Amino acid sequence: MKSVKLNTTFLIAVVCAAVLFADHSLSVAAETISPSEQKPTKPAPALPQAFARFVNEKRALAAAIGKKHDLKVPSKVWEFFAAAQKGDWAATSNLFFGIEAGTHRRGSAEWMPSEIWGPIHDTFGAYELVEAWNTQLLEQFAEEIVKSIPSGSIYFGGTEGGRFAVSAFSQSHSEGRPFFTLTQNALADSNYLGYLTDMYGARIHLPNTNESQKCFEEYLTNAQARLKHDRDFPNETRQIRPGEDVRLVDGKVQVNGPVAVMAINSLIVKLIFDRNPERQFYVEESYPLDWTYPHLAPHQFIFKLSREPLKEIPAQAVRADREFWIRHTDSWLGAWLKTNAPVREVTDFVERTYLNGNIKDFNGDLRLIRDLEARKAFSHLRASIGGLYAWRAAHSKGPSERQRMMAEADFAFRQAFAICPVSPETVARYVELLVSGGRLSDAEQIAVTAYKLDPEHKQLGDYAEQQLLRAKQGTEKAPAPK
């Protein structure tokens, strides 16, 4: 591999390009692991008992929704659930994509009523995880989250695992037992809100059509004002966020892309939060929701969303978080990643284990090492918590609090990188933190190691070449993240 030299400008560019994480289902290149360590081909395992029960529950829900709305449910729906019940992945997936296409063909013979899409989507989303993950790791992911959330709470699951696995391993997702599971990613979709209403009825306050429309209009008004500011004051800090596609066309504001959609979703999350004051709230992050950050505290794999903003994260919560993740990373990777472990020790482990496939002295869980999907998910959970600590450091009132939060963020990102060093989100967030602290050599070490594992990654390759000249000039210290 050719040598790569990076500078602060490149590192920030990597962050800007990757931290606007398009979607947490996006693919990540597999690391190099020796052929002997690849997963062996074997017959499909028996479905987890929780998933089999979930399929039956969602089939019954589809029937109930069809009856409620007086729908003629096509036979393909029942064929889909029957295939899932049998554990026939090929038939289930083929039927799913046919049904999905049919939801866009109103008036045709293949049309599928959108009202019953929710139970189908939930079933397929959970089955994808069952098919892709090691069963024990999937159960650990889902069951630990489920056990950590008090009964009667409202929980927002952001990633596929955080949404579908938690739904499947709950006592009853359809009945909101032991808690109500929603996803923040789809709240701007009226069909999804209708599905939630069909499941949960009046037990929790959910936005009606008028309320969700007001959230959309509020975002458009705000976006138009920020766009006007950027046009009127080009020399001031831009208010349109990176990746936010806002345009004025024929005098009307138009918005597109995931950043805009998530901004609308964020407003609907806030509405649900405000309208259910008696409920406790928990969140698994997908995209960061800006308004939530002052309210968040680590809660094992996820976050607790406090009713009032926190002046700072309590020391007890920080200590519990650190101990929780040390216990898990020691189990997964071996008990070598200490709080004072230097970046070089982390990258050496990454190259030895993932790049060279050397597990001779590995004392962790080989199931995790061999399961990229599980590692991406666990790395995301830890990087999200690191992101909260980094935000707290950037918004701290004094140097001692900033130092405390920087140290926790640094450790969280080292753990996340060791779990999955090819996660663009983890790499970008950690690089951003290191650059903000002036640790350019460590930032370069992380970026170059990730580049070795994924040399086709344009954000790590092209920018490195483009910024080589400026790298020679150097920069003493980059500004703290905004």
Render pLDDT for 266-284 as a digit per residue (tens, 0 to 9).
999 999 999 999 999 999 9
The average pLDDT across 275-295 equals: 96
Query: d(Cα 102, Cα 116) in Å, to the nearest integer?
Result: 12
pLDDT of residue 472: 36
Q: What share of the chain is helix, strand, coil (3-state, %, to 5)?
A: 60, 5, 35
Instruction: Name the pLDDT band for 36 (thresholds 50, 70, 90).
Output: very low
Q: Is 294 helix (H, G, I), strand (E, B) or coil?
A: helix
- Crossing angle, helix 399-419 and helix 424-436, to 10 degrees? 150
Helix (H) or strand (E) holding 376: helix 372-394
Residue 181: phi, psi to the nearest 5? -105, 125
- pLDDT of 6 strictly over 60: no
Query: d(Cα 176, Cα 126) in Å, to the nearest integer?
Result: 17
Q: Are 159 and 284 in contact (CB under 8 A)?
A: yes
Rounded CA Rg of the chain: 23
Q: C-alpha distances in angstroms, 432 versus 53, 136, 143, 344, 417?
A: 43, 33, 32, 17, 13
- pLDDT of 369 strictly over 90: yes
Burial class from Cβ neighbours inside 10 Å (0-12, 13-18, 19+) for residue 418 reads buried
| Amino acid making up residue 364 | G
pLDDT of residue 317: 97
Lowest mean pLDDT among 45-59, 94-108, 161-175: 94-108
Lowest mean pLDDT among 143-147, 159-163, 255-259: 255-259
E-state strands within 130-287: 154-157, 180-182, 245-249, 252-256, 281-284
- pLDDT of 96 strictly over 80: yes
- pLDDT of 125 strictly over 70: yes
Give the end-to-end CA distance of the chain in Å, rounded to a whole number: 34
pLDDT of residue 2: 41
How does the average pLDDT of the chain come out, rounded?
A: 86
What pTM, to 2 d.p., does this model score? Answer: 0.87
Lowest mean pLDDT among 11-15, 225-229, 467-471: 467-471
Q: Are 71 and 28 in contact (CB under 8 A)?
A: no
The average pLDDT across 148-154 equals: 98
How many CB atoms within 10 Å of residue 91? 15
pLDDT of residue 460: 54
Beta strand pairing status for 281-284 and 154-157?
Answer: parallel
Partners of 284 in the beta sheet?
A: 157
Query: d(Cα 26, Cα 348) in Å, to the nearest integer?
Result: 27
pLDDT of residue 459: 60
pLDDT of residue 388: 98
The average pLDDT across 312-330 equals: 97
pLDDT of residue 109: 61
